[in-house]
Amino acid sequence: MPAYAYFPGCSLEASAKEFDTSFRAVFDKIGVGLKEIPDWSCCGSSQVHKVDKDVATAIAGRNLVLASDIGDIVAPCAFCSISLKEAIIKLEHEGPIRSTLIEAGLEYLPGSVSVISAVEATYRAVEEGLIDGKVQSPLTGLKVAAYYGCLLVRPPKIAQFDDPENPSSMERIMVAVGAAPVDWSHKTECCGNAYIFVNKDMTLNLVRDVLNAAIEANADAVVTACPLCQQNLAMRQPHMKQNYGLKREIPVLYFTQLMGAAMNIDGQQLGLSGNIVRLINKRQQEAKEVG
Amino acid sequence: MVENPKFKIIGFFCNWCSYAGADLAGNLRLTYPADLRIARIPCTGRMDPLFALKALLEGADGVMVSG
Amino acid sequence: MDKLELQLRAKAIELLEEGEVSIIIGWGPGWNSTKATPVFARDGETAEKLIFNPFCFNNLSVYLPRISEKTAIIAKPCDAGSIVALLAEGKISRDNLYIIGVACQGIVDPVKLEAAVGSIDDATAACLEGDNIVVEIDGEAKQVSFAEVALDRCMSCNQQNNVFSDVMVGEPVQPVVGEARSVVPEDAGAAWWRGFWSKEFDRCIRCYACREACPACYCRDNCAVQALRERWTGPRLDAQEALMFHAQRAMHVAGRCIECGACERACPVGIPLTLLHEQVGKAVKKLFNFNVGEKVDERPPLETFRKEELESGH
Amino acid sequence: MGASVQLRSIDMDLKKEIERLSGQKLDACYLCGKCSAGCPVAPYQDIPPHVVMRMAQWGSKKVLGSKMIWNCASCGTCYTRCPNNIDVARVCGALSQISRREGLVADKVAATLREKFVESVKNNGRVHELSLVVAMKMASRDYLGDLDIGIPMFLKGKFPLFGHKIKDLNNFQKLFDSKKKGDK
Amino acid sequence: MARVGVFICHCGANIAGKVDVEAVSEAAINIPGVVYSSHQKYSCSEAGQKVIIDAIKENRLDRVVIGSCSPKMHENTFRKTVQQAGLNSYMLEIANLREHVSWVTADKDEATKKAMDLVKAAVGKVSFAKPLTPGQVPVEKRALVIGGGIAGIQAALDIADMGYEVVMVEREPSIGGRMAQLDKTFPTLDCSACILSPRMVDVAQHPNIRLLTYSEVENVNGYVGNFNVIIRKKARFVDERICTGCLECMGKCPLKKKIPNEFENGRAPRGAIYVPFAQAVPKVPVIDKEYCRYLLSPDPDKVEVKEGEKKPKRKCGVCAKVCTQGAVDFNQQDELISEKFGAIVLATGFNLFDHSKYGEYGAGKIPDVITALDFERIVNSSGPTEGKIVRPSNGEKPKRVVFIQCVGSRDEAKGVPYCSRICCMYTAKQAILVREKLPDAEIYVFYMDIRAAGKGYEEFVLRAQREYGANYVRGRVSRIYESNGHMVLKAADTLVGMPVEMDDVDLVVLATGSIAREDSVELANTIGITTDNHGFISEVHPKLRPVEVPREGVFACGACLSPRDIPDAVATAGAVAAKVGVLFSNDILMSDPMVAEIDPLKCAACGACVSVCPYSAITMEEFRGKKFAKVNEAMCQGCGTCSAACRPGAAQLKGQTDEQILRSIEAVLQW
């Protein structure tokens, strides 16, 4: 059984728990092992690299070293995966940072490990046919807007995955579980992520634009692969409908949650609300009636 | 600037680029240490590596090939 | 009588009788049994002298560029490598050549042997018995492990049975297992090498035996070191002029030298020339990813011109 | 009122410092504005990214007091589309570092977020989201906003009260000294 | 023993101001072989030259060293000087005491020492010089012009008008090139076809020009004055000699609306038998064998037929049936033509940047985002929309038209770093054309810088802005996406320093930059010349020899050298014609004597020189059973690579022999 070194990241331990549980459940179902990196630490992304990029590289490097005994890393959070990927590129050339690591008892060997995001890992699994036969109740008729946000495919030199302007891997995954991805304009626009505390108005404007674009494209739900995007897009919809011109509320889910639903994984494990389950059933029913 | 000991450096310069470049340096009156003695060769393809060895064995402090 | 030698002779006689070739180049017994000597057989009688054993250290391919008739040559893996290199340079013609390959488990280093058993010039008998070399000197049989006295190069060789040939004679062999005894310290830098070579080359008497033994050195009388007009090297007999000469030879065989060690064994004053050629060889391998003696249709990297080179500038 | 920028001399020290910290070549920018055009946060800022770049090219200290350098979301849009391969987010990051050092922070809340985040990482090895949220609420003085969201999340167990401390914290904290090495 | 004379030039104060010329001159007399030494104010002056000539005669000098300015300045002058004194002109060496010493050295003593070394090196080198004589090569006075765009047309006509024969090779079925695709030309707004067509006809009718369309150059051998070229004339399947150009066949082709027409940038269809456009020259159709049903159906004579089965018939063949002349010939084969030429002219033109690399602009998938070339066809009255400007998505008139400049140009990340030079102008022109056809449309132009350096160009751009109401916004667009059947643009106005957004955009025209033809490197390899790293043909000297390329006898003009507009393409074409004329005014060419020679007695026949020669000028010969290498002096460019590769020293570059170089090294270090 193929296995990855699993790097959940801080968010998946807390606010994005359902991403963690649904991702583990789906990979368990398709028979790909995930071994959590022992004693992993912060990936160095988001804020740390702005304060000191060398420190960010060093603390990302720590995780790389810890994982190198296990195998290639899968890091579901887009911030984590891009941060670890960048560290790999930097550590190639940064001797001093490697020495710092050695002083902390960690020897990094360039080329010893690689990093992919949850979408990449899933995309590979789909391409390799690992989900064949696992989709017991395909999400027929469910129109989804695949939302990549920024860091999943950007910057291309670091992400090295999919098209940075018009990615399609999540769509491919959604098709594999029977859903119908919509073509829409805002799949890689930034949602404003952590700036909700700093400039709430700005963030909500950005979120509104993304959601309205999905609504305009007639999507039933938005699927994401980033904990910050999911929270940002999902959380303040009633408020935005009142004050920011959001056209209607729309569910925002992790792509693994929908995959799990298609694979008949227990809703509890996926963290899916009853509303979503009912919506999926309704679409499946409609599709059946149409024929 | 640190006091420079004097060297003899033999330069093998391609007629079409570097030799002309060295001419240009002159036209622009750029100054550089007098250690370099440039030999004009028609192309760096003409440069037999043994010329460099020969120069070093004959006492050159350095050899510069440019083209 | 060794089964391999019988087969060699039979094959040689067959080729001569059928008129496949007019001359066979191989090894025969030398003036004592620790030395083999080249044999050029045009008839069955001479062919009956052919032998092959770990004392056959000459690289016979050195003779090929000088012979234009149809030739058969007995080749161990090193020799075959040189033959491939010569073919790649178009210096010899495959049509005129018949290669009788022999597997080789290693060649005895005369210097090591002498150190182990004493003056081998006085040997009355010598042979390989199992894993040991047995030499009889002054009626006394002295025994030494083959691994002790084989050439350093044979320790790291993995071509024992992989011989570029028309026919293989004899059985596949197991390589000799031992450790190379390099005199080069691991951290040898430029200064070490400078000291080392100036000491070694100080002994050079410029006899050119290294050149004559080298299959890649086929310019013969036109060799650049003898060029009167150019005077690459001066007439002085000192380490500096010798260095120029050997460096020139090393440059000329760069990317063409199979590192067989024939030059070193031919040297009357024992200069370890293989070390020089290995150093250059490593650089060529690294820069051009080129292995000498591997392909008959690829010219040596230092004498090829690629269009990319033209495009990258003047 | 004396607000014009003196162009006579470029502050090479500041410019070099920005280039060192960001790893970007400032003069590669020819100010086409594509970064500003695609930047999701630019419409809400005092100056857009290309103006940040221009000021950085001058080595103008004025840029250190800009909000933009604190509010860059690091989304990579500018870098992805920049015709000259400049990572503007890195330049903003470098500028905000210098701005903090010089005490010219224009967006205190953003600076607090950064500080608290790094503090949380350094003390625990990971980020404890709840304490970060609480700290941010204090900093922004928006004590009650988003309680409608926060409380249900808390109840769902999404905000565990206590953060997870990594075991090898001692060695982990050594990594924060890497900078001094790099400087040498 | 050589008798060398040394002459040190003061060059006024240029050399003497830094170098102690007297000391150098005095020291020179002690260099082995030197029998005479003097110094003078200006060696290159008439008086100075006379001193040299007299000294040579009086002192029976056989070799001369002049310490003066760079040999690039006066080597030729002094060669003539020593020749006047009765010496071979190659018995001269120049020590570069000005550019390499006096002008670049601060300290006087050091400059003097360095000057002495350089004089020694020159003496060392000249002491072993041998007299050289130039070779002679006859000139084949015919020119090959590759490419039938406006540059090729102009060059061919000019050369032909001088009375020389020209063969023009064009790979498309018709000549005309890019210019034929354009609607109007800036800044005069002339109709492009109206000014081009007469030139095309001139080519077809010129008695000195032979036109080979639908043909490509396969191989080029030889050297200046004597090129051997092999041209592949692709099967046209229509006999040019018989066809009258009635084009009856075209109308009957069942595929006539099925195949995208390259000439229309794929925006209008053509048939399998077609002429690309109405004014095509020659007006003879070709049959596209990739599509033609007849040619794709199996040949009955080659199909195995089982017993009882009928032999299959070939499909279609309608064109052959309707042709009253019987010009359609399905059995035609590609033809290889071998011709001799004295000169080759490259005029292979350019391509346009493929904007599918710009994912942010829809990667070429948004129908209403079109390229400028698309626009040229759309706005052209013989184009796919008969000149009506419409949105490709729905055929409606656009109300808001946006032009974006620098797409691919000046973009190191996704495109090319250079400026394409023509986009600012054609965008202004297209904005004017929009205004003329759609008086109510809003026009926006997003630009970075306006580059309008040409006669009447700046005025033209200002007219587009002032009289035609094109709104110019300074900033690069970051993204285009579709929304509600229109497009949304995210941009910035860098002059006010803020992001701007524009929605309800109906049509976006991208000013895609000029790039080299995709096969330009391959063609350059065929001809044995070089390209720059963008694939444009490299010239010998961008300023002083702008239409010559580094292979003698080969010239280039038009946009294959670099992006350029029509006037510049035509001007370079004229320049090329002049250069060809100069070449053809000689019956015999003198070749540079500083070429390689191989001593057959020393040659070890290893073939290294053959393998390393960048100009394929060395071949292996055999004489009485001995092989040796031989240099074709006319092809040798004197680079000396063979000399460096030759182990026994058989290959020697004349004037730069191993002996000369070794002695000059020794001279500097030992003498």
User: Which tens digit of pLDDT belongs to each residue from D6-22?
Assistant: 666 678 889 999 999 99
pLDDT digits (tens, 9 = 90+) for E212-250: 999 999 989 888 898 999 999 999 999 999 999 999 999
Domain match, E559 and E604 both = no
**Strand (E) or helix (H) holding E463:** helix E457-466
Q: Averaged over E161-173, what is the pLDDT?
A: 96
Q: Averaged over B16-27, what is the pLDDT?
A: 88
Residue after which a domain boundary falls, among E471, E495, E515: E515
What domains appear along chain C, each with residue ranges and CATH number? 1-107+156-179 (3.40.50), 182-314 (no CATH)
Domain match, E267 and E339 both = no
Q: Which two tokens stand for residue E475?
A: 């900033």
Q: Which two tokens stand for residue A90?
A: 């930097």
Residue C139, pLDDT score: 87
Closest CA of chain A from D45, distance in Å: 9
Instruction: State the Cα–Cα distance between residues C61 and C83, nearest whole angstrom.
Output: 6
Residue after which a domain boundary falls, among E478, E493, E515: E515
Closest CA of chain B from C71, distance in Å: 36
Residue E208 burial (10 A CB sphere; 0-12, 13-18, 19+) = middle
Output the domain CATH number for residue E208.
3.50.50.60
Residue ranges of chain D assigned to CATH 1.10.1060.10? 12-101
- Residue ranges of E 209-268 with Cβ closer than 8 A to chain D: none
Instruction: Give the sheet arrangement for strand A143-146, strand by strand.
Output: A180-181, A143-146, A221-224, A252-254
Instruction: State the Cα–Cα distance between residues A62 and A44, nearest whole angstrom.
Output: 10
Q: Which two tokens stand for residue C166?
A: 């028309």
Q: Does D84 touch chain A (CB under 8 A)?
A: no
Domain match, E45 and E89 both = yes
Residue E665 lies in a domain: no
Q: Averaged over E427-440, what is the pLDDT?
A: 96
| CB contact (8 A) between residue E482 and residue A185 | yes
| CB contact (8 A) between residue B67 and residue C314 | yes
| CB contact (8 A) between residue B46 and residue E640 | yes
Q: Averaged over D110-139, what is the pLDDT?
A: 79
Domain match, E393 and E493 both = yes
Q: Under DSSP, is residue E669 helix (H, G, I), strand (E, B) or coil?
A: helix
Instruction: State the Cα–Cα distance between residues D183 and D162, nearest whole angstrom.
Output: 36
pLDDT digits (tens, 9 = 90+) for A14-70: 788 889 999 999 999 888 889 888 888 888 876 777 777 888 888 888 888 888 888
- Decide if D88 contacts D53 (C-beta within 8 A): yes
Residue C265, pLDDT score: 92
Chain E residue with Cα closest to C224: E648
Instruction: State the Cα–Cα distance between residues E621 and E600, nearest whole angstrom.
Output: 10
Domain match, E153 and E174 both = yes
Question: Which residues 6+ apart lie within 8 Å of E175 measured at CB?
Answer: E148, E149, E152, E153, E168, E200, E203, E211, E213, E281
Q: Averaged over C207-221, what is the pLDDT?
A: 93
Instruction: Spell out which residues of chain C touch residue E619, defining contact as CB-CB under 8 Å.
Output: none
Chain C residue with Cα closest to B48: C251
Number of domains forming the structure of chain E? 5
Residue C314, pLDDT score: 38
| CB contact (8 A) between residue D50 and residue E494 | yes
What letter represents residue C285's amino acid?
K
The single residue listed with the structure tokens 């309704």 is A282
Interface B–E counts its CB contacts (< 8 A) at 100
Closest CA of chain B from E630, distance in Å: 18
Chain E residue with Cα closest to A188: E360
Question: Quick check: B3 pLDDT over 80?
Answer: no
DSSP letter for each residue of E591-655 = EPS--EEE-TTT-----HHHHH-TT--EEEEEETTEEEEEE-TTT-----HHHHH-SSS-EEETT
| CB contact (8 A) between residue D34 and residue E474 | no
Do A and E count as touching (3 or more CB pairs closer than 8 A)?
Answer: yes
Q: Averaged over E544-567, what is the pLDDT?
A: 92
| CB contact (8 A) between residue E659 and residue C229 | yes
Residue D171, pLDDT score: 78
Q: Which residues pair with E369 in a beta bridge?
A: E508
Q: Does E594 touch chain B (CB under 8 A)?
A: yes
Chain E residue with Cα closest to D28: E412
**Strand (E) or helix (H) holding E210:** strand E209-212
Among B10, B40, B53, most E C-beta atoms within 10 A, so best to mutate, is B40
pLDDT digits (tens, 9 = 90+) for E100-147: 999 999 999 999 999 999 999 999 999 999 999 988 888 999 999 999
Full residue range of the structural domain in which residue E73 is found: 4-133
What chains are in contact with A, requiring at least 3 Cβ pairs below 8 Å? D, E
Instruction: State the Cα–Cα distance between residues E21 and E10, nearest whole angstrom.
Output: 7
Residue with the larger pLDDT of the pair D8 and D65? D65
- Decide if E492 contacts D36 (C-beta within 8 A): yes
Closest CA of chain E from D84, distance in Å: 5
The single residue listed with the structure tokens 């197991």 is C174
- Integer CA distances (angstroms), C112 to A203, C117, C146, C151, D129, in order: 81, 9, 10, 8, 73
- Residue ranges of E 297-326 with Cβ closer than 8 A to chain D: none
Domain match, E465 and E416 both = yes
| CB contact (8 A) between residue D158 and residue A14 | yes
Q: Does E501 touch chain A (CB under 8 A)?
A: no
- Decide if A149 contacts A231 (C-beta within 8 A): no
pLDDT tier at B60 (50, 70, 90 boundaries)? Answer: very high
Closest CA to E382 of E268, E258, E256: E268
Chain B residue with Cα closest to E550: B16
| CB contact (8 A) between residue B26 and residue E104 | yes
pLDDT tier at D145 (50, 70, 90 boundaries)? Answer: low
| Residues constituting chain E | 671
Q: Under DSSP, is residue A129 helix (H, G, I), strand (E, B) or coil?
A: coil
What chains are in contact with B, requiring at least 3 Cβ pairs below 8 Å? C, E
Domain match, E171 and E122 both = no
DSSP letter for each residue of E354-411 = -GGG-GGGTTT-STTEEEHHHHHHHHSTTSTTTT----TTT-PPPSEEEEEEEESTT-
Pairing of strands E273-274, B62-66: unpaired
Domain match, E343 and E441 both = no
- Integer CA distances (angstroms), A43 to A83, C283, D172, in order: 6, 42, 12
pLDDT digits (tens, 9 = 90+) for E619-628: 999 988 889 9
Q: Does E14 touch chain B (CB under 8 A)?
A: no
**Whether domain D12-101 has CATH 3.30.450.20:** no
Q: Averaged over D43-55, what is the pLDDT?
A: 93
| CB contact (8 A) between residue E659 and residue C220 | no
pLDDT tier at C313 (50, 70, 90 boundaries)? Answer: very low
Q: Does D167 touch chain A (CB under 8 A)?
A: yes
Q: Which two tokens stand for residue E344?
A: 């080759």
pLDDT tier at B4 (50, 70, 90 boundaries)? Answer: low
Name the phi and psi angles at A157, rounded to 5.
-65, -25
Number of H helices, E strands in chain D: 11, 0
Closest CA to A152 of E514, C311, D80: D80
- Decide if D71 contacts A159 (C-beta within 8 A): no
Question: Quick check: D182 pLDDT over 50?
Answer: no
Q: Under DSSP, is residue E422 helix (H, G, I), strand (E, B) or coil?
A: coil
DSSP3 helix / strand / coil % (chain C, rounded to 5)? 40, 15, 45
Residue D175, pLDDT score: 79
Topology of domain A136-290, CATH? Rossmann fold (3.40.50)
Instruction: State the Cα–Cα distance between residues E145 and E154, nearest whole angstrom.
Output: 10
Give how far the C-alpha of residue E598 lies from the chain's centroid of Cα atoms, to the nearest Å: 33
Give the closest of D39, D47, D83 to E410, CB-based.
Answer: D83
Q: Averaged over B37-65, what is the pLDDT?
A: 94
- Alpha helices by DSSP H, listed for C101-157, are 110-117, 146-149, 152-155
Among E549, E595, E639, E652, most B C-beta atoms within 10 A, so best to mutate, is E639
Q: Which residues pair with A209 in a beta bridge?
A: none
Residue E327 lies in a domain: no
Question: Quick check: B1 pLDDT over 50?
Answer: no
Q: Averaged over A127-140, what is the pLDDT?
A: 89
* R_g of chain D, CA atoms, integer Å: 19
pLDDT digits (tens, 9 = 90+) for C243-281: 999 999 999 999 999 999 999 999 999 999 999 999 999
Domain match, E192 and E340 both = yes
Domain match, E127 and E270 both = no
Instruction: State the Cα–Cα distance between residues E104 and E97, nearest whole angstrom.
Output: 10
Question: Quick check: E8 pLDDT over 80?
Answer: yes
Chain E residue with Cα closest to D52: E497
Give the closest of E412, E476, E493 to D34, CB-based.
Answer: E476
Among E498, E501, E502, most D C-beta atoms within 10 A, so best to mutate, is E498
Residue after which a domain boundary falls, among E562, E589, E616: E589
Q: In B, what residues contact E, Cβ < 8 A? A: 6, 8, 10, 19-20, 22-23, 25-27, 29-32, 34, 37-43, 45-48, 51, 54-55, 58-60
Chain D residue with Cα closest to E413: D83
Residue E116 burial (10 A CB sphere; 0-12, 13-18, 19+) = buried
Chain E residue with Cα closest to D40: E499
| CB contact (8 A) between residue A216 and residue E483 | yes
Domain match, E342 and E217 both = yes
pLDDT digits (tens, 9 = 90+) for A66-87: 888 888 899 998 889 989 998 8
Instruction: State the Cα–Cα distance between residues E16 and E98, nearest whole angstrom.
Output: 9
DSSP3 helix / strand / coil % (chain B, rounded to 5)? 35, 25, 40
Closest CA of chain E from A98, distance in Å: 30
Output the domain CATH number for residue E67.
3.40.50
Residue D181, pLDDT score: 44
Instruction: Spell out which residues of chain E touch residue C300, defining contact as CB-CB under 8 Å.
Output: 608
- Decide if D61 contacts D96 (C-beta within 8 A): no
Angle of helix A118-127 versus helix A169-176 axis, rounded to 10: 50
Say which CATH class A3-119 falls into.
mainly alpha
What chains are in contact with C, requiring at least 3 Cβ pairs below 8 Å? B, E
What is the residue extent of each domain of chain A? 3-119, 136-290
Closest CA to B20 of B65, B67, B56: B67
Instruction: Spell out which residues of chain E touch residue D27, defining contact as CB-CB under 8 Å.
Output: none
Instruction: Spell out which residues of chain E touch residue C305, defining contact as CB-CB under 8 Å.
Output: 611-614, 641
Residue with the larger pLDDT of the pair B10 and D8? B10
